[in-house]
C-alpha cells in the first residue's frame, strides 16, 4: 500500500468538510479499513489497486491517530490534527521565508513557537502534458523554532492571526515558486481557452497578434499553444536544461580563468592597489549607471573586487558581529580579514552575513567583496542597509569603496556569450505548476486560498485581469468548491513613472471586483523603489487577513 506524502505524520484535516484519504498499490478488491478517533470506515480497492475513502467526522483539535489497514499491512499516521487548511500560491513574494525577513522582525521571529501551525511544502517540480496524480516527497512540519525559518513568512503570519481568532490548528500547503507566471496555475484546457479569448480581445484593441516578442522565460496569448506542445517533449526539455547549465558553467570558468584576483588572493589584501598606484573608488550605495567617472563599471560583465577598511573598537572583538551588505547586483563572495563570511548566487536576496567571533580585531579591519556582474549593470542597491552591527551599535559602510576589475568577458572577444545567459525556468511556463504541484492536491479540502503573484506578468498587464479570473475558476473547479480567495495586490516598486506595475495593480483590482467570494489587500505603501521582495510580510498578512476574515 502506498500513500501520498500529504497523508503523513502531522497532517491537518479541514474541519467541517468531508476529508478523504487515498492510496494505491493494493490488491484489486482488497478491503481497506480506516480508523480515526475510534471511528472506522471501510472500502474496497478498485481493480487498479487504488482506493479513496471519506473519513469520519472528528472535532477540531487533536492530535489524533489515523490507521489505514489492508489485509497484511497497517500504516499508522500520528499527530493528525483537525482545523483550517490554507493553500498558498503565487511566486517569490509568497515563497519568501521568515529567515529573509529578519531585518524587520528578528526578535519576534526568534521567539516564535507555533506548534499549532503545520506546514507542508510541495516539491517544486513542474510538469507538462498529463497532470501528476500524486506526490511522494515532502512532509508536514510544525512551525516551531527548529523548523519555521524556511516557511513562507506571509503564510505563517496569516496563520497566526487565523489561529488567534478561531482557536483551531492551522495547516499551510505551500505551492508558490519564485518567478512563476499566472499561466503556470492553469490547466491546459484553460490555457488554450484563454489564448483564444485574449487574441480576440487583442484584435478588438487593434493589436498585432501575428507574432510575439517573448523571451525564453516569458509566454503570451500568441505563443501559448506552441509552448504547450514544445514543453511536453521531455527529451527537448532535458537537453535544453543541460545545455543552458553547461553554458553558465563555461561562462563562470572562463571568468575565473581571467581573474588575477583569485590567483593572487585579493581577498587577503588591505588595498587592491600597490604603493604608488592610483586607487579607484566607487560610492555605495548606488547603481553603476550613467557614471561620469569609472565608465568601465557601466558595461562590465565579469568580476569587480571591492574593498573597504573599517575601524573596529576594542569592545567588538571576540564577539560575533553582523554584516549588512544591502542587496548587490549580481552575485558575491564576501570576506572579512581574508576569511570567507558569506556568498549569494544572484541579485535579489539581502546580504546578511555573520562574522564569527575572533575574525575582527581592534583597529583597522578589511572587508572585500568579489562581485560578479553577469547580465546587467552592477552596483550596491540603494535604500538598503549597509553596516556592521553588534547589538544596538552600528558602524556604517556607506561611502567610498576601492574597486578593481578582476576578470571580464566582452562582446568583441566572446561574442554573444559575453553575458551569462539565463536558464529556462520551466516551472514558470503554462500548466507547469497546475500539473505538477496543484493537481496532486485535488483530494484535499481547504478553508481558503492565498494568492500573491503578478510580478512576472508585468509585460502583459491588461491580459492579467482575464487570466486572474480564469485562474480562480480553474483552481475552484479542481478543488471542487468555491473557496474564498485572498489576493495580494502588488506593492510599490520601481522608479517614479514606471507604468507596468501600476497597470498590473489595476488589472488585479478589476479582477478581484468581479470574482465572487474573494478579496484583495492593498499593500502599495509596504513596497520599496528597489526591493522586489519587501520584508514587510507581517503587515501584508495583517491586511489580507482583515479583508479575508469575513469570508472564512
Report if residue 495 sits inside a domain.
yes
| 439 shares its domain with 479 | yes
Whole-number Å distance between alpha carbons of 10 and 138: 12
Output the nine-digit C-alpha cell for 17. Answer: 468538510
- What pLDDT does 29 receive? 94
Beta strand 363-373 with 328-329 is: unpaired
The answer to whether residues 523 and 443 belong to one domain is: yes
Q: Is residue 7 part of a domain?
A: no
Same domain assignment for residues 329 and 440: no
Residue 451 shares a structural domain with residue 342: no
Query: Do 455 and 508 touch, CB atoms closer than 8 A?
Result: no
- Asked whether residue 401 falls in the same domain as residue 434, the answer is no
What is the pTM assigned to this prediction?
Answer: 0.95
Same domain, 118 and 95: yes
Do 355 and 375 have their domain in common? yes
- Are both 414 and 433 inside the same structural domain? no
Which residue, of 387, 418, 449, is where some domain finishes?
A: 418
pLDDT digits (tens, 9 = 90+) for 102-137: 999 999 999 999 999 999 999 999 999 999 999 999
Same domain for 284 and 376: yes
The domain spanning residue 503 has which CATH number?
A: 3.40.50.1110
Q: How many domains does the chain have?
A: 2
Within this chain, do residues 435 and 547 fall inside the same structural domain, yes or no?
yes
Return the CATH number at 304.
2.60.120.260
**pLDDT tens for each residue of 136-153:** 999 999 999 999 999 999
Secondary structure of 153-207 in HEC code, one letter for each residue: HHHHHHHHHHHHHHCCCEEEEECCCCCCCHHHHCCHHHHHHHHHHHHHHHHHCCC
Please report whether residue 195 resides in a domain. Answer: no
In this structure, is residue 378 part of a structural domain?
Answer: yes
- Rounded mean pLDDT of 312-336? 96
Predicted pLDDT of residue 292: 79
Domain shared by 287 and 393, yes or no: yes
Is the confidence at residue 308, as pLDDT, over 90? yes
| pLDDT tens digits, 61-90 | 999 999 999 988 999 999 999 999 999 999
Q: What residue numbers bound the domain in which 386 lies?
A: 260-418
Given 385, 418, 451, which residue is the final one in a domain?
418
pLDDT at 444: 98
Distances (CA, A) of 97 to 137, 174, 352, 374, 499: 20, 11, 14, 26, 28
pLDDT (0 to 100) of residue 291: 85
In a domain, 456, yes or no: yes
Tell me, yes or no, whether 443 and 523 share the same domain. yes
Question: 243-269: per-residue pLDDT in tens?
Answer: 999 999 999 999 999 999 999 999 999
Please give the grid coordinates belonging to residue 22: 487515498
Residues above pLDDT 70, as percent of the chain:
100
Amino acid at each position: 500500500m502506498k500513500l501520498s506524502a500529504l497523508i503523513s505524520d502531522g497532517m491537518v484535516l479541514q474541519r467541517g468538510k468531508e476529508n478523504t484519504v487515498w492510496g494505491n498499490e493494493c490488491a484489486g478488491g482488497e478491503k481497506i479499513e480506516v480508523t480515526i478517533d475510534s471511528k472506522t470506515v471501510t472500502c474496497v480497492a478498485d481493480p487498479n489497486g487504488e482506493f479513496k475513502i471519506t473519513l469520519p467526522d472528528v472535532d477540531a483539535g487533536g492530535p489524533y491517530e489515523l490507521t489505514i489497514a489492508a489485509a497484511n499491512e497497517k500504516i499508522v499516521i500520528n499527530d493528525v490534527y483537525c482545523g483550517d487548511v490554507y493553500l498558498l500560491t503565487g511566486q517569490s513574494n509568497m515563497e519568501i521565508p521568515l529567515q529573509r525577513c529578519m531585518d524587520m522582525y528578528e526578535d519576534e521571529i526568534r521567539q516564535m513557537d507555533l506548534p499549532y501551525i503545520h506546514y507542508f511544502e510541495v516539491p517544486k517540480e513542474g510538469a507538462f502534458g498529463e497532470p501528476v496524480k500524486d506526490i511522494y516527497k515532502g512532509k508536514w512540519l510544525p512551525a516551531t523554532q527548529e523548523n519555521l525559518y524556511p516557511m513562507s513568512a506571509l503564510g505563517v503570519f496569516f496563520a497566526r492571526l487565523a489561529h488567534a481568532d478561531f482557536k483551531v490548528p492551522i495547516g499551510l500547503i505551500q505551492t508558490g515558486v519564485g518567478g512563476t507566471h499566472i499561466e503556470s496555475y492553469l490547466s491546459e484546457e484553460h490555457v488554450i481557452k484563454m489564448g483564444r479569448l485574449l487574441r480576440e480581445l487583442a484584435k478588438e484593441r487593434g493589436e498585432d497578434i501575428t507574432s510575439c516578442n517573448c523571451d525564453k522565460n516569458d509566454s503570451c496569448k500568441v505563443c501559448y499553444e506552441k509552448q504547450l506542445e514544445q514543453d511536453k517533449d521531455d527529451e527537448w526539455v532535458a537537453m535544453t536544461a543541460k545545455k543552458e547549465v553547461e553554458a553558465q558553467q563555461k561562462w563562470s570558468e572562463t571568468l575565473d580563468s581571467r581573474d588575477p584576483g583569485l590567483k593572487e588572493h585579493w581577498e587577503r589584501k588591505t588595498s587592491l592597489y600597490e604603493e604608488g598606484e592610483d586607487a579607484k573608488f566607487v560610492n555605495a550605495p548606488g547603481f553603476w549607471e550613467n557614471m561620469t567617472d569609472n565608465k568601465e563599471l557601466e558595461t562590465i560583465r565579469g568580476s569587480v573586487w571591492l574593498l573597504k577598511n573599517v575601524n573596529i573598537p576594542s569592545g567588538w572583538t571576540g564577539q560575533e558581529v553582523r554584516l549588512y551588505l544591502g542587496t548587490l547586483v549580481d552575485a558575491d563572495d564576501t570576506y572579512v580579514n581574508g576569511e570567507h563570511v558569506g556568498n549569494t548566487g544572484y541579485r535579489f536576496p539581502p546580504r546578511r552575513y555573520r562574522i564569527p567571533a575572533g575574525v575582527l580585531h581592534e583597529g583597522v579591519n578589511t572587508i572585500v567583496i568579489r562581485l560578479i556582474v553577469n547580465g546587467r549593470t552592477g552596483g550596491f542597491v540603494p535604500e538598503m542597509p549597509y553596516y556592521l552591527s553588534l547589538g544596538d551599535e552600528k558602524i556604517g559602510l556607506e561611502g567610498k569603496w576601492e574597486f578593481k576589475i578582476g576578470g571580464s568577458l566582452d562582446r568583441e572577444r566572446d561574442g554573444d556569450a559575453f553575458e551569462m545567459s539565463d536558464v529556462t525556468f520551466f516551472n514558470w511556463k503554462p500548466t507547469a505548476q497546475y500539473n505538477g504541484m496543484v493537481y496532486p492536491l485535488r483530494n484535499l479540502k481547504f478553508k481558503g486560498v492565498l494568492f500573491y503573484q503578478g510580478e512576472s506578468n508585468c509585460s502583459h498587464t491588461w491580459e492579467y485581469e482575464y487570466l486572474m479570473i480564469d485562474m480562480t475558476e480553474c483552481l475552484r473547479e479542481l478543488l471542487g468548491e468555491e473557496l474564498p480567495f485572498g489576493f495580494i495586490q502588488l506593492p510599490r516598486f520601481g522608479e517614479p513613472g514606471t507604468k507596468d506595475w501600476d497597470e498590473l495593480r489595476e488589472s488585479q483590482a478589476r479582477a478581484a471586483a468581479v470574482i465572487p467570494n474573494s478579496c484583495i489587500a492593498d499593500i502599495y505603501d509596504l513596497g520599496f523603489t528597489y526591493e522586489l521582495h519587501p520584508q514587510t510580510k507581517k503587515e501584508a498578512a495583517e491586511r489580507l487577513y482583515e479583508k479575508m476574515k469575513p469570508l472564512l
